[in-house]
Chains A and B, each alone.
Chain A
Amino acid sequence: MRLFVRHERELRAYARTLLPTWEAVEDTLQEASVVIWKKREQLDDEAAFLPWAKTIVRFEALKTRRRVARDRLMLSEETIARLADQAAESPDGLLDRERSALQHCLQQFSDEQRKLLLAPYLSSGGVRDMAERSGRTANSLYKLLGRLREKLSQCVERRLTTATDGGMS
């Protein structure tokens, strides 16, 4: 479980690629953690943990997908399969480097903007609630959110590029 905890974020990002909602991601990780525990004997090399765990997450994600397929718009199984293959090869440590870039970039936004950027993750109707409280239409708030997210992702990319260049020299 120590390994699971250490790699939980990587597995969460991987599951997010395959699943349409955070709820589905958390369900899948719960199930996967149980399976990983049960099958822990199969793993003899710690270094192989992440790819092995990703396979389990992928399998559990497929089960979750079938369960939530009725009430969710989802990508096709074929697309998901290709994404799963490609995402399995994500470079180690990238997620954490991006996290620190993100933390830096978030500081460049105002409190209100940060609140809006994080609202989608705090409850499913987070943005809609915020719209109601501020008397805006949800539509316009999503539009604003879209622009903020675009800025944020550009900032993260830029910061990562600069950090990489700096590290090389």
Chain B
Amino acid sequence: MNSERLRELVDRYYLGIAPEDEVAELDAELREDSHARDVFIAAARLETNLYDEAINAVPAMESGGDPVARRLPVRAIGAVATLARSLKTPSTVAIAITLIALLALVFWPQHPADRTFVTLEQTRAALWESGDLPTADGSRLERGTLRLAEGLATLKFDSGAEVVLEAPASLILTDAMNCVLNRGTAVSDIPESALGFRIKTPSADVIDYGTRFAVSVHEETGETHTHVIEGRVQVEYAQSDEVVELTTGQRNTVVGDTIGKVTDDAEHEHKTIAVKPLDHGPGWTMLESVRDAYTGNNEDHNSDVLLLVKKAIQDGRVNRIAYIGFDLKDINQQHIEEAELLLYFAPTGWGLASHMPDATFSVYGMIGDATDWDESILHKERFPAALGTPEVVHLGSFTIPQGVQKGCFRVRTEALSEFLRTHPTSEISLKVVRDTVARDNGTLVHGFASRRHPVLPPPTLAIRQQAR
């Protein structure tokens, strides 16, 4: 028997959860192997020490720590057992044990004064919906619900777990080791102290064993997507005992009645969740980009999952411009009443945010030959649809405030709707450029999620059509 199996059997035996076959297996090993007996005897010492710690911890955790009460449970168990046997009435034992359990409950620590266990460390461009918790940066939070309509919020649990909540999201704080994500995305960083940190979702429980991972929940379907960035997590299917383990780079989706298979980065692209923006009700169709890429290749400055956008100097090949393609084949373009483009920005890690003032971005529609581009060639030195030519139409602009690098930014203009309505084909090409030039070199590179991003939604076109 290998030592791992032996330790497991010993541990389960002492916890009283080993079934008959495991006890038999352990028995055979202990009978034959003196080293196994050493392990078993050492475990009994650890058990004894833990037992003593537990007995002492009960009153120690309440204020004062009365020395008489310290050994009370154990003394009482022993004394009552002796007494019960002398009386020959086994039921007394049961009654006494119940009493002791009650005593233990009374001694169990309660902190009515401070029930908080989470600090709302910082928010970025956050907009909160009604919830029952304070939302100022630095607030200490107790049990309750956070509803983030826009932006990002970083939560630090007292267990050490850090969770970045990405809007739109709804999170119930349960305790320092547990929370419930009902919609949106939570990216967690779990140190050793929070081993076992759990995020419950409507369809699964994701339990962390020391790692960074992302969980996304689609509000309407309850679909849970889990992606392990580093480390190991366990995904438990809510409706049965089914469990899968994910390690670095692996993903899993739990949908409805099924716990999906585990996939690796290399093999599959992650299907991001179409997070439904808050103000798109019934009647809206959400289209995800079918192709996207950016120009301005710089050998060591690339991203596979973000579309990089930058303007360093007025013109030049180091500038980066993003291109996005949508397919409107399932839309009756003439009936488009309203349209909105949603881009989910995330930090790229390049450039200095402090050197970047409020940044304005413009979205252009491409027409004619300019629409003829594909993802593979864009990294080269091609800039389809140069600005100022008849091949581009300005559709709208948005501004990202200084210091903000994350969040959903939108363009919702009549020019965009008109462009989609009148475009001669169903294939739509848009380009996104940054208008604002940074103060000097080392300028910030902005980036938004491409359709390959593991967690953030891809560029999305929300379209409302005329009711027929």
Contacts and interface: CB of A to CB of B under 8 A. Distances in A.
Chain A at the B interface: mostly helix, strand, loop or mixed? helix
Contacts of B160: 110
Nearest to B23: A73
A168 B344 CA distance: 61
B41 interface: yes
Nearest to B207: A140
Interface string B46-90: 111111111101100000000000000110011101100100000
Given A9-B52, A27-B81, A110-B193, A20 B16 contact: yes
A113 interface: yes
A79 B41 contact: no
B77 A82 contact: no
A112 interface: yes
Given A13-B44, A134-B178, A142 B17 contact: yes
Contact of B45 (A95, A113, A149): A95
A116 B20 CA distance: 25
Contacts of B414: none
Nearest to A135: B200
B48 A83 contact: no
A17 B234 CA distance: 33
B34 A86 contact: yes
B22 to A, nearest CB: 9
B16 A99 contact: no
A121 B176 CA distance: 22
Interface in B1-49: 7-8, 11-13, 15-20, 23, 26-27, 30-31, 34, 37-38, 40-41, 43-49
A29 B207 contact: no
Given A17-B41, A102-B46, A30 B174 contact: no
Contacts of B53: 102-103, 106, 118, 121
Contacts of A26: 74, 77-78, 81
A151 to B, nearest CB: 8
A169 interface: no
Interface string A87-122: 100100011001100110010111111101111111
Contacts of A22: 51
Given A26-B74, A153-B46, A113 B40 contact: no
Contacts, number: 172
Nearest to B93: A23
B142 interface: no
Contact of A142 (B15, B44, B46): B15
Given A23-B81, A94-B45, A140-B207, A149 B11 contact: yes
A112 B176 contact: yes
A17 B23 contact: no
A87 B45 CA distance: 10
Contacts of A149: 11
A148 B55 contact: no
B125 interface: no
Interface string B203-246: 00101010000000000000000000000001010000101000
A10 B303 CA distance: 61
B41 A118 contact: no
Interface of B: 7-8, 11-13, 15-20, 23, 26-27, 30-31, 34, 37-38, 40-41, 43-55, 57-58, 73-74, 77-79, 81-82, 85, 100-101, 104, 158-160, 174-178, 192-196, 198, 200, 205, 207, 209, 234, 236, 241, 243
> What 6 pairs between A and B have smallest CB-CB spacing?
A121-B54, A13-B48, A118-B54, A17-B44, A16-B44, A26-B78
25 contacts: A12-B48, A16-B51, A26-B81, A27-B85, A73-B19, A75-B23, A76-B27, A76-B31, A83-B41, A86-B38, A87-B44, A95-B49, A102-B46, A110-B159, A110-B176, A113-B195, A113-B196, A123-B101, A134-B174, A136-B198, A140-B236, A144-B207, A146-B8, A150-B7, A153-B43
